A and B are shown apart, each in its own frame.
Chain A
């Protein structure tokens, strides 16, 4: 069974048809990247999975999305439970303007996951997982806004890991970072994929080629092609995919 199963998904922003008949299977413990030109619906698709589109007025969704075999639009789904399992990393690092420790502790506190004495251990584990612990262990009570962009993005990932999700949705997590920081975040994704299912949106073709196991190419709301990375990049079936990855448009 696939981790995320998408069948005939259509999404409308009021009258604008933003996702058209998208069907695909995302497998557990792999990195899946979504590529495509600006405005093709990558973020929209990602936001379907943790139902962040619910916040937008006038959104209508048709079709089926199963995560672990369960329909995420079902009546028995608790949004907070769903979002706890399907975490999201945003394009711009967005720590809360509170201390580093409190940022990581935010999710566990909200979900009542840890008593205060375990909380410290949890924060340490999460910061270690994103390789911030050694650097920051003496600065836990400094403001998160004092960190560099890359550290902030790592912190946001740590904040997410603290609620023990199993899918990580990343919407262009490196677009606000320089190449060295980007390489480090990619390295981190590699480590994380052992335990998490990662779906990453990127504009950067090299990045998609470097880090992902599967790639989906989207165009104007359609999923044009979806498959294993090396296959898509070396031998795409669709002419439009070929044009895009060889840089002829987009």
Chain B
């Protein structure tokens, strides 16, 4: 039997749309479920109060603060190292075996399961460097995990800046660093920011790396220093779902909603930065 091209076209089109729908449907189902079941649990008190009654009631304030605090410290380490490493790799390093090895290592680092980062952080920061279970240890662990994201996207952003910008700048007598600083980085900034935001949202949502390095099971107060433990949202959610009996679903789903909301807002930022840049970029 011969199918006419018009029919194959139709079949291909339907198959492709079906796949797309199948891929994105779960996302919508998950989000809808969380919103419907968690929505009623969200209240001012839920967002700003300490947990009470063995976390079955009250709010999740310390977990929200803990997550924000942890992510901020993470970025303090991850942004400078990630961005500068990428600048070095793209702008300075000559193409030789070592450079290629480093690049492969970075790609592989991105594929390492997060629990491995958690155990690595436990071994290195918590135990060996004696930081204990602390914001510092957790942030360093998360920083290492987000580095590949930041490095990769920064590298990509740098390599989309046209070569001619560098040539012109150098031909005007600017030094290598002046060229990077004034002709390259400003034009790569949106891409770099996008990478940072994506790295940030990944760091905010991970449980395994914080499990042994920073997360407190139940700590109804705010942190005082880098060396404190904190509650963090993903781990808190895990605890509420598996460790504490008889937690009301609004509390569980409410926590999930706050976490998902935070991550989605961050990703939305990335999308907006990207879209704005695309409109402005003209070369």
Contact = CB atoms under 8 A, between A and B. Distances in A.
Contacts of A79: 173
Interface of B: 94-95, 162, 164-165, 167-175, 178, 182-183, 186-187, 280-283
Contacts of B174: 80, 106-107, 110
A90 B94 CA distance: 25
Contacts, number: 66
A80 B182 contact: no
Interface in A143-157: 143, 145, 156
Given A90-B164, A145-B282, A145-B283, A106 B170 contact: no
A90 B170 CA distance: 13
A156 B171 CA distance: 12
B172 A52 contact: no
Nearest to A146: B282
A84 B173 contact: yes
A96 B186 CA distance: 11
Nearest to B171: A88
Given A90-B164, A94-B164, A50 B283 contact: no
Contact of A97 (B95, B173, B182, B281): B281
B178 A110 contact: yes
A163 B167 contact: no
B182 A94 contact: no
A1 to B, nearest CB: 23
Interface in A68-124: 79-84, 87-88, 90, 92, 94, 96-98, 106-107, 109-111
B171 A83 contact: yes
B182 A110 contact: yes
Contacts of A159: 172
Contacts of B168: 90, 94, 96, 156
Contacts of B280: 97
A57 interface: yes
B184 to A, nearest CB: 11
B171 A92 contact: no
B172 A96 contact: no
Contacts of A81: 173
A106 B182 contact: yes
B173 A107 contact: yes
B169 A52 contact: no
B171 A87 contact: yes
Interface in A39-64: 50, 52, 55, 57
Given A57-B94, A92-B164, A163 B173 contact: yes
B173 A83 contact: yes
B164 A84 contact: no
Contacts of A163: 172-173
26 contacts: A52-B170, A55-B167, A57-B94, A80-B173, A80-B174, A83-B170, A83-B172, A84-B172, A88-B171, A90-B167, A94-B162, A94-B164, A94-B168, A96-B165, A97-B187, A97-B283, A98-B186, A106-B169, A106-B172, A107-B173, A109-B182, A110-B174, A111-B173, A143-B282, A160-B172, A163-B172
Nearest to B178: A110
Contacts of B167: 52, 55, 90, 94
A54 B188 CA distance: 24
Interface residues of A, number: 29
Given A97-B187, A97-B282, A87 B164 contact: no
Contacts of B186: 98
Contacts of B172: 83-84, 87, 106-107, 110, 159-160, 163
Contacts of B95: 57
Contacts of A50: 171
Given A52-B170, A96-B165, A97-B280, 17 more contacts: A50-B171, A57-B94, A80-B173, A80-B174, A81-B173, A82-B173, A83-B173, A90-B168, A106-B169, A107-B172, A107-B173, A107-B174, A110-B173, A110-B182, A156-B168, A159-B172, A160-B172
A139 B197 CA distance: 35
Contacts of A98: 186
Interface string A158-190: 011001000000000000000000000000000
In the complex, the 7 A-B pairs of residues with the closest C-beta atoms, listed nearest first: A84-B173, A83-B173, A80-B173, A88-B171, A110-B174, A107-B172, A94-B164
A80 B183 contact: no
A82 B175 CA distance: 12
B94 A94 contact: no
B163 to A, nearest CB: 9
Nearest to B166: A55
